[in-house]
Amino acid sequence: MNIKALNGFKDVLPGEVEQWQRVETAARDIFARFNFSEIRLPILEKTDLFARAIGETTDIVEKEMYTFVDKQVTMRPEATASLLRAYIEHGLHVQKPVQRLFTIGPMFRHERPQKGRLRQFHQMDVEVLGSADPRVDAELMAMGALLLHELGLSVTLEMNSLGCPACRPAFRTALLTFLEERHESLCDDCKRRSSTNPLRVLDCKNPRCREQVLEAPSLLDFLCAGCADHLRLVQEGLEQLGVVYSLNKFMVRGLDYYTRTTFEFITADLGAQAAVGAGGRYDGLVEQLGGPKVSGIGFALGMERLVLLLQQQETEAASASPALFVAGIGEQASGYAFGLTHALRRAGMAVAMDLEGRSLKSQMKQAGKLKAANVLIIGDDELAASLAQIRNMNTQQQQNVELQETAATVQALLQLTSSSPLTSTSI
Ligand code: ATP
Ligand code: MG
């Protein structure tokens, strides 16, 4: 029986996994610099949590969730709802008036798999709970932009304001009127959506719908004084921090909970999968889920898309090559190499060795494949004379290494492999 991974579920193999690690390491570093703490959340939650948080008439809840119907539980399609559930459940607002949290892990959505769109995908998600300050919005966008910049990726930032429950209804009415006039030209999804969730039509990817909504009213013209002020201050903050962005009046995002600021990091290099990250403010959501009346804002970056961009934009992957390959030739030498390798690893060096008793030629080949920086060659005769040879694989220079007692040999080798190219002074 030949069992393969499910459609839309993907293994990350060595060779690619280094890029994932690079993305995650860069993110953890930035999150720490911005004073965020990690939170780890379960993958399975009550279905009701997502239906209530994300919205019954969103694509995610209507058609993308992995739900076990008999148990009324769902594999999380995004992180915000789960994170808020945990925030409320553990009274995290009592511990700290402003919580800055991040979480990294897999999400599940039953959509049509394609490049940059999987059924199990991974997000790095950041949330700030307890602050309505527009500077937090600017700070978060600046943090996302900085991370993408440090990864060497060129991505643009688009922003919009979705207003609040005070000003959105008037916009909704104006939009409904606008859409009614164009009802026949919309795609089937949008025909249905235009009455249940008209804002979503603005976000439809169908080219015909896109054309239809070009002249649609803009929420920006309907903002109440509070929302307009908030937007102005966010823009001032972005300017102060030197963050480049553009306003996009069509961006509504696929989740119902957003208020005021919404934003997306966009790339031109992944076809239809243009958003590498997205988020926004959700000032009423914590309360709606039964928690305290606190503001919130967050965003999530899609790791698959970041890795694809890293591959496409050909930035250097961090190499996992060993600093040293220990080649023991002969039974005695191989036994000695086994112990020395462990001592070197304990001392912090990345070391590879062959355990199959292969020939010197074959071991040198192996070292080359692994891109080992140096090879230590020990034969039985050399071992008897307490000598070995070390070869710098870059310069092909070779020199003797005296095999002393283990600790001293480890020290000598640490020193030799850290100075590259090898000098000709022997030890
Ligand atoms: P899209 O418009 O591409 O479907 P979305 O608006 O549904 O994205 P969000 O829910 O905002 O996405 O999730 C934030 C990020 O997670 C996206 O910008 C994207 O990078 C990533 N993402 C979302 N869905 C998927 C998926 N199915 N496969 C891979 N990455 C995804
Ligand atoms: Mg989506």
Q: Which pLDDT score, from 0 to 100, does residue 126 have?
A: 98
* Ligand of minimum distance to the alpha carbon of 116: 1
Residue nearest to atom 25 of ligand 1 (CA): 117
Integer Cα distance of 256 and 324 in angstroms? 54
Whether a cis peptide bond, with omega within 30° of 0, leads into 165 is: no
Mutate to test the pocket of ligand 1, among 7, 50, 107 (most ligand atoms within 8 A of CB): 107
What is the whole-number distance in angstroms between the Cα of residue 250 and the centre of ligand 2?
Answer: 16
Q: Starting at the edge strand that comes first in sequence, how are the strands of the sheet with 246-247 ordered?
A: 37-38, 99-108, 120-129, 296-302, 275-281, 259-266, 156-161, 246-247
Residue nearest to atom 29 of ligand 1 (CA): 117
Which residues have a Cβ under 8 Å from the Cβ of 108 and sit 6 or more positions away?
43, 65, 66, 75, 76, 77, 119, 120, 121
Mutate to test the pocket of ligand 1, among 158, 252, 270, 273 (most ligand atoms within 8 A of CB): 273
Q: Which pLDDT score, from 0 to 100, does residue 417 have?
A: 87
104: left (phi over 0), alpha (psi -120 to 50) or beta: beta
Integer Cα distance of 13 and 32 in angstroms? 28
The alpha carbons of the chain give a radius of gyration, in whole angstroms, of 28
Q: Nearest-CA neighbor of 279 among 409, 402, 113, 139?
A: 139
Q: What is the pTM of this model?
A: 0.85
Average pLDDT over the chain, rounded to an integer: 92
3-class secondary-structure state, position 271 = coil
Integer Cα distance of 425 and 348 in angstroms? 24
Q: Nearest-CA neighbor of 131 among 277, 256, 298, 248?
A: 298
Kindly give the number of the ligand 1 atom that is closest to the alpha carbon of 205. Answer: 2
Q: Provide the pairing of β-strand 156-161 with 120-129.
A: unpaired
3-class secondary-structure state, position 27 = helix
Please give all residues whose beta carbon lies within 6 A of any atom in ligand 1, as ranges: 78, 109, 111, 116-118, 121, 123, 254, 273, 275-278, 300, 302, 304-305
Residue nearest to atom 8 of ligand 1 (CA): 275
Q: Where in the chain is the domain with CATH 3.30.930.10?
A: 17-167+223-314
Q: Where in the chain is the domain with CATH 3.40.50.800?
A: 321-417
Q: Which pLDDT score, from 0 to 100, does residue 420 have?
A: 47
DSSP state letter for 268: S
What is the whole-number distance in angstroms between the Cα of residue 127 and the centre of ligand 1?
Answer: 16
Which tens digit of pLDDT belongs to each residue from 358-398?
999 999 999 999 999 999 999 999 999 999 999 999 999 99
Q: Which pLDDT score, from 0 to 100, does residue 92 have?
A: 97
Pick the CATH number of 17-167+223-314 from 3.30.930.10, 3.40.462.20, 3.40.50.1100, 3.20.20.80: 3.30.930.10
Residue nearest to atom 6 of ligand 1 (CA): 254
Integer Cα distance of 310 and 253 in angstroms? 25
Q: Could you tell me the CA-to-CA distances from 130 to 40, 100, 137, 139, 409 in Å, in that order?
A: 20, 9, 12, 15, 56
* Ligand of minimum distance to the alpha carbon of 117: 1
What is the CATH topology of the domain spanning 321-417?
Rossmann fold (3.40.50)
Instruction: For the chain, 427 residues long, give each residue's pLDDT as a single digit of tens.
Output: 799 999 999 999 998 999 999 999 999 999 999 999 999 999 999 999 999 999 988 889 999 999 998 899 999 999 999 999 999 999 999 999 999 999 999 999 999 999 999 999 999 999 999 999 999 999 999 999 999 999 999 999 999 999 999 999 999 999 999 999 998 889 998 988 888 888 888 888 888 888 888 889 999 999 999 999 999 999 999 999 999 999 998 888 877 788 999 999 999 988 888 999 999 999 999 999 999 999 999 999 999 999 999 998 765 554 568 999 999 999 999 999 999 999 999 999 999 999 898 999 999 999 999 999 999 999 999 999 999 999 999 999 999 999 988 899 999 999 988 854 433 333 3
